[in-house]
Structure 1
Amino acid sequence: MRKIIYSLLVGSIVFSSIQPHAKDIDWPMYGLDYSHQRHSPLTQIKASNVANLQSTWRVHTGVKASFQATPLVVDRVMYVSLPFNHVLALDAVTGKEIWRYQHQRKKDYRLCCGPANRGVAVSDGKVFVGTVDARLIALDARTGKVVWDIEVADGSSASAESIQTLQDGDKLKNSSIAGQSGIGIAMAPIVYQGKVLVGITGVGYGLHLDSEREGAPLGAVVGFAGSYGRAGFLAAFDVKTGQRIWQFDTVAPQAWEGTFTTTTPDGVPLNRDINLEKNNLHRYPDAAKYGGGSAWTTPAIDTKRGLLYFGTGNPSPQMDDTSRPGDNLYTISLVCLDIHTGKIRWHYQQVPHDLWGYDVASPAILFDYEVQGKKIPAVGQASKVGWYYVHDRVTGRLLKKSEAFIPQTNLFARPTPEGIVITPGAVGGVNWTPTALNPKTLTAFVPAIHWPVRYSKKTIPAKGDKPSLDYSTLELLMDEPRWGVLSAVDLKTGKMKWQVKTPEPLVGGLLSTAGDLIFVGEGNGSLNAFDAKNGHRLWTTTLSAGVNAPPITYQIDGIQYIAVAAGGNQLFGFKQGDEIHVYSLPKK
């Protein structure tokens, strides 16, 4: 029966001479299944014995760099994408390498956001990987050989965020701006009914100051007003050929300025100058053309209704809003699409006219939710701004907004010349990190970041033939206290059941199990197991690199395993490495 179920879910890829045990339970896709709950039914490892976990095997991959991938396990084989999109197939019991795909990037390709990616998809006898150089590649699951390799987006300077896209006479054209932003794919693909779904990132990342220019900030992200960049998208491709089936652009094709709302949809003031924005409309008639809206998150899929749910990133240009008046639809939104056509059903824009980088980055989760005695199909999302949102899956109506799970200071304040410190800032709240959910208790488990960020408005004076430049900047405050918060959110009430403060900001993701356990890693190398009922730490081990990827669990021959990649994260300063670790209980 298990073989039939998982053949329907991910396609049959049996090539081992060993017949799967009747009790084998895979981890076949990014979020375990289409709901993305990351809640495993396995109970062999539980609160009463997790302290006995021991290392079963580990593998050095040979690629030391930021490692964010979720390993997949299908029919006794573990598939994992490494930094820079190399792919390994390993024996999931022993760690022995079966094959390795070595990715060759386009020459001199400018990476958007580092070498990390979030994982692969496995289906129809193939392994699918989206790449940092904006390609989608299908590998033979038996051999690792390339079946097809297609370009998802043109990543040339002509289509990326670059001064080469500026019109003659644009003030930025002659200002020694440097730092073209490339386009790539960060999300793990997902496959449904013959379609592979991926989206692009790197749009809305912005131009950068020439580092040698006097007055240019170091270690800061900057934003300039102007007409440059492009819109993001999510697209579906044929699993057999790679042919594009449909594409949804993350910028509204008409009226992307929206209604010029003065608050978030749930009523929080946004401190906007609506009159100024409306007066600027005629100056920037093509603003949506450059609109941004990266697609960061692997979609969750409602198979019964044929709907998918994913989040979008910040508008372009980032932070400086002068050249993009209006709400900037559909950026910073949870979006629902018809999976067969790519047509939009609804969107919920968490932060209209974003200035702060509050991407909807953590994957959506599907579950059933009770309202006034009636069970409603719901979708939940943990935001960068620090609230957990629950929506009606069909209409998008907001059903519940949790209390804040992270400190909030100066939320939605505009940047100032002297600089204003905001929490949470551009790194979250919850960043790309996937959350987990126990559907029986309706408890969402959320790994969050407390890291103050300073937002400023700056001017570089004119010098020689270089004009003066106004720009916005954000700086991660390295000398300010920062930490992580692991929260259990009661979705019935929106209240916190418990919270645990961790030494490091939580960047990586969670695993929930029916054994009443929550597994999560930290940048200091700790891999931890917490009691899901009360947040007590029950087990910890220390690895040689930051544990900044989501753990998974699977069962083979009646033995439950816990697996995680440990490669750190350069952006956050966490030690980098190249290991995959697997744990189990001692054999009786």
Structure 2
Amino acid sequence: MTKTISAIALFAATIAFAGAQSTSQSEWPVYGGQPAQDHYSPLARINRTNVKNLQVAWTYDTGEKGVFQPSPIIVGSVLYSYTPSQKVIALDATTGKLLWKFDSGIAGTQPARALAYWSDGTSARILAGVMNYLYALDAKTGQPIPSFGENGRVDLREGLGRDPATVSIALTSPGIVYKDLIIVGGRDPETLPCPPGDIRAYDVRTGALRWSFHTIPHPGEYGYDSWPKDAWKRSGAANNWAGMALDAKRGIVYVPTGSAAFDFYGGDRLGDDLFANTLLALDADTGKRLWHFQAVRHDLWDRDFPSPPALVTVEHQGEKIDAVAQTTKQGWIYLFNRVDGQPVFPVEYKRYPASTVPGEVTAAMQPLPTMPAPYARQALTEDMLTRRTPQAHAWAVKEFRTFRSAGQFVPFSLDKPTIVFPGYDGGAEWGGPAVDPDTGIIYVNANEMAWLGGLEENKSSGASGSGLYQQQCSICHGDDRRGSPPAFPSLVDIGKSLTIDQTRDTIRQGKGRMPSFPAFSDEQLDALIRYLQTGHDDKTELKSESGSSTETEKYNFTGYRKFLDPDGYPAIAPPWGTLSAIDLNTGKYVWKIPFGEYPELAAKGMKNTGSENYGGPVVTAGGLLFIGATNFDKQMHAYDKATGKLLWRATLPFSGNATPATYEVNGRQYVVIAAGGKDPRLPIGGVYVAFALPK
């Protein structure tokens, strides 16, 4: 359904839209600023000299709470974005006044990071993902366009070689527009069953499928022999959840992909598993592969490419090179010639240990760039443990000696936990980097957290509630249901906080980082909920055919677990988050600083520790780097892009875990960010805050 629009609001929307027919340098019309995904703006009205005078220009409170990570797009004087429940909104970009709101009637439970905009010069439409649907909305009114797909939407569950009713997919990052195409990926589950991560292009006018690229190759396609026979029928993921970049002049779309399902045990997908963990360069007109680079062969560590790549021109060894830069969770940056895929800096293949888990065969070698140096530490040693207090240090040392910590690409074992550092959330994450096209400097914010991982033999039957839990839920909530709060909540005593119906809805629809699980039969879901409520299986096992919709792995992941001290702080020494500036012409660092604080520790004198951070930076011709991102201090920051000096900051109503946008209307420059909060221990909301200089 759609929200009723008043005559006054519709008139205001029409007037605002009149200036939104063509994009210019004053706008922010694409996720990441422009298709190159460089997060760069040529605006300079706000600069090093006057940024200290920034003040709040307007706010818009969505009145909702939930996962809130959108980066708005701005065309003309209209700002388009989402609410936490994935309602699509259009605001007056100078006042924050609501122009229209589209409510699909679907309660969005997944992250929604941006929209896409298309115009032929006479009409324009917003292309919006709402869970598993891609909608085309009239940019002027917010009404669905009936001629697109079926009544204004395309169901992304269809056409993946699976029963659509059992498929979980959500468009969390926006598609990218090229000519009359909208090219999309999608977020898939990290356990089986799971759809393949096909990259698909739809006609922006009709919603018809124009081309599809199989990231798990079909017979006769390049890379088919890097998987077991007919793996595309059973394996899943290798999907683009992070977004894409586009070289519109050359007609090349750059698509980073994630790991294959199941993430942490690959005995059923032996081989390198192309095109998982791969940067793909595709012909944007046809979907034909032009070149590729696989950064992690046979991934067992959830080392997705976490963000869209950024396009930049660098000068290297006296030659100008049109390049594509890709950040990683590991803390590395890969830089390639964007035409032929040749690395700008050498990539070396190094040997790593074999797996000791029966049935697993790890890749013998993995590729590492020789430059730039990593922006996150690569191995955790005992001398790097926390010294926040003597007690915390003693605890960390005792625990650390029970782990295996040997750096990158160490396969998980069955005997003891393995340190993953940087952790599953990076290094870099989905916010993406910013690149200054004038200097070739890339700006990357990163996490430096240690996590644990391990495998255990799956002794549960898929024909029981506990077996279903181990197959589908333990990857996040642990084999003991205790999770790793706050990111992965405990499910022990879940009946005290959620009713049976609420639990059922959450499993069916997903929530936040949790995908939906439509493949469960009603009988399976009832059995799983009984197990979650009681911690025990019902005496009556499920019928064998009831388990046919879920896959049974030989080994379970023991769960995502941060290495935290007893007080809930990182059990390693700071920095726990960083912000780096790296010259891509030379591969050398310009500056690097801790990024973020814990307010309660800062009050006790423990400042500049860095903290976890989500959401990327924006760089401008005014000499500034704008970024929110930090989880706990709720700060919006402006840094001198040349030195890393903090020039201005403001406290947001909630942490700004999103990438900001900057734009200009009527000669006034604005910087806007979505503030919603991330840590469930702290207040959450859904507010847009725009800053500008005083009039």
Both proteins in one fold, TM over 0.5? yes
User: Which amino acid counterpart does residue 144 of structure 1 have in structure 2?
Assistant: G
Cross-structure match for 2:424: 426
**CA distance in structure 1 between the partners assigned to 2:69 and 2:621 by the alignment:** 24
Whether the aligned pair in 2 keeps the contact of 1:248 and 1:342 (CA below 8 Å) is yes
User: Which amino acid counterpart does residue 516 of structure 1 have in structure 2?
Assistant: G
**CA distance in structure 1 between the partners assigned to 2:642 and 2:426 by the alignment:** 25
Question: 1:398 Cα shift?
Answer: 1.1
User: Which amino acid counterpart does residue 428 of structure 2 have in structure 1?
Assistant: V
- Larger CA deviation: 183-192 vs 548-557: 183-192
Q: What pairs up with 1:480-519 in 2 under 5 angstroms?
A: 480-481=570-571, 483-502=576-595, 503=597, 504-519=611-626
What secondary structure sits across from 1:83 in the alignment? coil
Question: 1:474 Cα shift?
Answer: 4.0
**CA distance in structure 1 between the partners assigned to 2:453 and 2:90 by the alignment:** 44
Deviations 1:247-303 (A, max 9, x none): 11222335777888xxxxxxxxxxxxxxxxxxxx8xx53334314212123321112
User: Which amino acid counterpart does residue 375 of structure 2 have in structure 1?
Assistant: F
Whether the aligned pair in 2 keeps the contact of 1:155 and 1:183 (CA below 8 Å) is no
Is the counterpart of residue 202 in structure 1 residue 188 in structure 2? yes
Gapped regions of structure 1 (runs ≥ 5): 1-12, 163-180, 208-227, 261-280
**CA distance in structure 1 between the partners assigned to 2:45 and 2:323 by the alignment:** 30
Q: Pick closer, same or farther for the CA change 1:116–1:463 going to 2, 3 Å.
A: closer
Of 363, 371, 374, the residue aligned with 1:404 is 374
Is the counterpart of residue 556 in structure 1 residue 665 in structure 2? yes
Cross-structure match for 2:117: 122
- Larger CA deviation: 336-345 vs 417-426: 417-426
**CA distance in structure 1 between the partners assigned to 2:648 and 2:667 by the alignment:** 22
What secondary structure sits across from 2:187 in the alignment? coil
Question: 1:41 Cα shift?
Answer: 0.7
User: Which amino acid counterpart does residue 636 of structure 2 have in structure 1?
Assistant: L
Whether the aligned pair in 1 keeps the contact of 2:280 and 2:292 (CA below 8 Å) is yes
Is the counterpart of residue 584 in structure 1 residue 692 in structure 2? yes
Deviations 1:321-362 (A, max 9, x none): 111100000010111000000111111111111011111121
**CA distance in structure 2 between the partners assigned to 1:430 and 1:22 by the alignment:** 30
Question: 1:24 Cα shift?
Answer: 7.9
**CA distance in structure 1 between the partners assigned to 2:212 and 2:144 by the alignment:** 24
User: Which amino acid counterpart does residue 188 of structure 1 have in structure 2?
Assistant: P
User: Which amino acid counterpart does residue 244 of structure 1 have in structure 2?
Assistant: L
Cross-structure match for 1:10: none
Q: What pairs up with 1:519-530 in 2 under 5 angstroms?
A: 519-521=626-628, 522-524=630-632, 525-530=634-639
**CA distance in structure 1 between the partners assigned to 2:317 and 2:263 by the alignment:** 41
**CA distance in structure 2 between the partners assigned to 1:332 and 1:285 by the alignment:** 20
Question: 1:320 Cα shift?
Answer: 0.6
Question: 1:537 Cα shift?
Answer: 1.0
What secondary structure sits across from 1:16 in the alignment? helix
Cross-structure match for 2:641: 532
Cross-structure match for 1:415: 412
**CA distance in structure 2 between the partners assigned to 1:96 and 1:564 by the alignment:** 16
Cross-structure match for 1:35: 36
Higher helix share: 2
What secondary structure sits across from 1:424 in the alignment? coil
Question: 1:428 Cα shift?
Answer: 1.0
Question: 1:551 Cα shift?
Answer: 0.7
Cross-structure match for 2:555: 470
Deviations 1:217-253 (A, max 9, x none): xxxxxxxxxxx43310221111111111111122233
Whether the aligned pair in 2 keeps the contact of 1:256 and 1:328 (CA below 8 Å) is no
Q: What pairs up with 1:228-247 in 2 under 5 angstroms?
A: 228-247=193-212
Question: 1:158 Cα shift?
Answer: 5.8
Is the counterpart of residue 316 in structure 1 residue 254 in structure 2? no
**Aligned pair count?**
507
Cross-structure match for 2:518: none
Whether the aligned pair in 1 keeps the contact of 2:257 and 2:279 (CA below 8 Å) is yes
TM-align CA RMSD:
2.8
Whether the aligned pair in 1 keeps the contact of 2:160 and 2:195 (CA below 8 Å) is no
- Larger CA deviation: 189-198 vs 554-563: 189-198
User: Which amino acid counterpart does residue 452 of structure 1 have in structure 2?
Assistant: A
What secondary structure sits across from 2:16 in the alignment? coil
**CA distance in structure 1 between the partners assigned to 2:133 and 2:462 by the alignment:** 42
Whether the aligned pair in 2 keeps the contact of 1:82 and 1:116 (CA below 8 Å) is no
User: Which amino acid counterpart does residue 116 of structure 2 have in structure 1?
Assistant: A
**CA distance in structure 1 between the partners assigned to 2:438 and 2:169 by the alignment:** 40
What secondary structure sits across from 2:52 in the alignment? helix
Cross-structure match for 2:155: 151
**CA distance in structure 2 between the partners assigned to 1:529 and 1:356 by the alignment:** 34
Cross-structure match for 1:16: 16
Cross-structure match for 1:277: none
- Larger CA deviation: 490-499 vs 337-346: 490-499
Q: What pairs up with 1:5-404 in 2 under 5 angstroms?
A: 15-16=15-16, 25-105=26-106, 114-124=109-119, 125-147=123-145, 148-154=152-158, 159=163, 182-203=168-189, 205-207=190-192, 228-254=193-219, 284-289=228-233, 290-400=235-345, 401-404=371-374
What secondary structure sits across from 2:324 in the alignment? strand
User: Which amino acid counterpart does residue 180 of structure 2 have in structure 1?
Assistant: G
Deviations 1:109-142 (A, max 9, x none): xx8xx52111111222344344353111011111
- Larger CA deviation: 462-471 vs 82-91: 462-471
User: Which amino acid counterpart does residue 297 of structure 1 have in structure 2?
Assistant: A
What secondary structure sits across from 2:140 in the alignment? coil
Higher strand share: 1
Question: 1:472 Cα shift?
Answer: 2.3
Deviations 1:156-177 (A, max 9, x none): 9964897xxxxxxxxxxxxxxx
Question: 1:18 Cα shift?
Answer: 7.1
What secondary structure sits across from 2:85 in the alignment? helix
**CA distance in structure 1 between the partners assigned to 2:23 and 2:202 by the alignment:** 34
- Larger CA deviation: 290-299 vs 443-452: 290-299
- Larger CA deviation: 537-546 vs 440-449: 537-546
**CA distance in structure 1 between the partners assigned to 2:112 and 2:311 by the alignment:** 23
User: Which amino acid counterpart does residue 612 of structure 2 have in structure 1?
Assistant: P
Question: 1:16 Cα shift?
Answer: 3.1
Larger Rg: 2
Q: Pick closer, same or farther for the CA change 1:444–1:465 going to 2, 3 Å.
A: closer
Gapped regions of structure 2 (runs ≥ 5): 1-12, 146-151, 346-370, 380-406, 468-552, 598-610
**CA distance in structure 2 between the partners assigned to 1:130 and 1:360 by the alignment:** 23
